[in-house]
Chains A and B, each alone.
Chain A
Amino acid sequence: MATFLKFLFHSRNELETGGRSSLPVQEDASEPEKVCPNCHLSIPLSRLWANDNTCTCGFHFRMSALQRIAFIADEDTFSEMFSDVSTRDPIQFPGYQKKLEMTRISSKEDEAVICGTVRIGGVECCIFVMEQYFMMGSMGTAVGERITRTFEYASEHKLPVVGFTVSGGARMQEGLFSLMQMAKTSGAVKRHSDLGLFYLVVLTDPTTGGVTASFAMEGDVILAEPGATVGFAGARVIEQTTRKTLPRGFQTAEFLLDHGFVDAIAPRNIQKNMIAELLKLHTTGEEDEQ
């Protein structure tokens, strides 16, 4: 825990750490070592994965959606839903079809979110996990539709929803259609909420733009991973428009905690237990018996 606290003290905002692009990418499985951007130690991949993709200094590396599901789900309980929903390029944006095809090949995913049902600590729930390697987790019509269906399924089956966000915002290649997904998903979250059902969201690095301004901020409980960049407007844009130096740690998870927009920081070594406990606190007694 002491090393983890040390990390918290050194939490930096996106610009201080050199921007998003400098963060290590997890694509090349053959690469034997990763350099931690926080403490600069080289970590063998196998040790990194054994340690839930965190460095001993407390730095949390990003996870792919599938890694995330393996990390959080009780073994063999995840069942994917709505994977057949895909976008149709609603405004025929130049180059978008091609980009989608390329991304599908490089990411081995078909969209920027994976949804389904799962058990976490024995509690059945719906889950959505956004995928950073698919166009930076941007929300287009397919992402909006999958997340909306997840909440509607959860409403119908009286299930809680656990969500992991990572997103650059609305997907501009789908124009106004993608902006409308913010309202659509928010409507589904509201209906789920009005039924007295529980929605827990975990903000992971980075959660920004239209996703921050919709379902990422609508959880009954909002957790965030240590050091994650979370904000609405981009740090660089704010710096350029205001011509002011951003405060230390601006738009980090810890910054949001300080300002009252996050319930708690959830480091990975205790994250699954935190989520499971919170889910159990929102179930009725009989479900606890299972």
Chain B
Amino acid sequence: MSSNTAYEKVKIARSNKRPTAVDYIDHLLTDFIELHGDRRFSDDGAIVGGIARLNGRPITVVGIEKGRNTKERMQHSFGSPNPEGYRKALRLMKQAEKFHRPLLCLVDTSGAYCGIGAEERGQGQAIAENLMEMMTLKVPVISIVIGEGGSGGALALCVADRVWMLENAIYSVISPEGCASILWKDSAKAAEAAENLKLTAQDSLSNGLIEKVIPEETLGEETFYESLKNQLISEYEILAGLELPDLLEQRYQRFRRIGCFETIDE
């Protein structure tokens, strides 16, 4: 595995040279039909979702899209979803549940959109609802953090049976800059914060918070997608083999056991 420092990985994870969600959709899936809108307010470009096929079988895919150039980045709100984005994602998830399609989430965001409108339309409520609903969604769910996994805005698509991360992806409770500026009143100490936050894929794996790290040696090449696609196919097969109550119980326990606390016997 690479020997980059945590903050170097933060920079790699944020690089605009990385494949974005639509690249994964194009290469992993076939027959993608994009579906728009949350049916409540608008269509948030930060979330790209729809129905496609994985190895010939229907699947619902929901991704956070950053865009590949300046124009696209504007269209996709730089990959920071508004509440309507999370509600659009939830609508597609519920649709997947209704038609018994597995769900694939592709996560790449610096965080949920930070703005006046986002607060007016209930950013907190939108994320909270996704957390609740995903926990009992009656289909197999795999989430892959392909770049940045920024806080609650990323978690809103990560209540899954399996969470995987790319080798240079990050997943964090707060941006290293935010952490440094709150704790040390100095955002220049971001590198130190990045190290301390244990936000790399390797940290997440060794802390037992994710199931797999996807190597990046051939990132963006056909072999990379081919290998990832095969891993997805076999993992969905394993999940499809579980009885529904077992699937949901295992998903609940996946999060239930996370906690590093002790109880003192009195």
Q: A residues engaging B (CB < 8 A)?
A: 84-91, 93-94, 141-142, 144-145, 148, 170-172, 174-184, 186-191, 193-194, 209-210, 212-218, 231-233, 237-238, 241-242, 244, 246-247, 250-251, 259-261
Contact = CB atoms under 8 A, between A and B. Distances in A.
Contacts of A93: 196-197
Contacts of A85: 261-263
Q: Nearest 9 A-B pairs (CB), nearest first? A: A90-B260, A212-B124, A186-B131, A232-B124, A213-B127, A141-B259, A217-B128, A232-B123, A217-B125
A186 B128 contact: yes
Given A176-B209, A212-B124, A88 B261 contact: yes
Q: How extensive is the interface on chain B, given as a class?
A: 35 or more
Contact of A175 (B115, B197, B259): B197
Contacts of A214: 127-128, 131, 152
B207 A91 contact: yes
B62 interface: no
B20 interface: no
A175 B172 contact: yes
Contacts of B115: 233, 238, 241-242
B236 to A, nearest CB: 21
B258 A180 contact: yes
B209 A177 contact: yes
A176 B204 contact: yes
A233 B255 contact: no
Contacts of A251: 119
B112 A84 contact: no
Nearest to A233: B114
Given A87-B260, A180-B258, A214-B128, 6 more contacts: A176-B199, A183-B131, A184-B259, A209-B152, A218-B129, A232-B118
A137 B19 CA distance: 39
B116 A247 contact: yes
Contact of A179 (B112, B114, B136, B173): B173
B135 interface: yes
Contacts of B132: 186-187, 189-190, 193, 218
Nearest to B131: A186
B91 interface: no
Nearest to B121: A259
Contacts of B112: 213, 232-233
A141 B261 contact: yes
14 contacts: A86-B264, A89-B260, A91-B203, A141-B260, A177-B258, A180-B259, A181-B258, A184-B259, A186-B128, A190-B135, A213-B156, A217-B128, A241-B114, A242-B114
Contact of A261 (B116, B125, B155, B199): B125
Interface string B120-156: 1111110111011101100000000000000110011
B256 interface: yes
Contacts of B158: 183
A87 to B, nearest CB: 5
A170 B196 contact: no
Contacts of B114: 233, 237-238, 241-242
A261 B132 CA distance: 17
A39 B6 CA distance: 49
B252 interface: yes
Contacts of B238: none
A213 B263 contact: no
B122 A179 contact: no
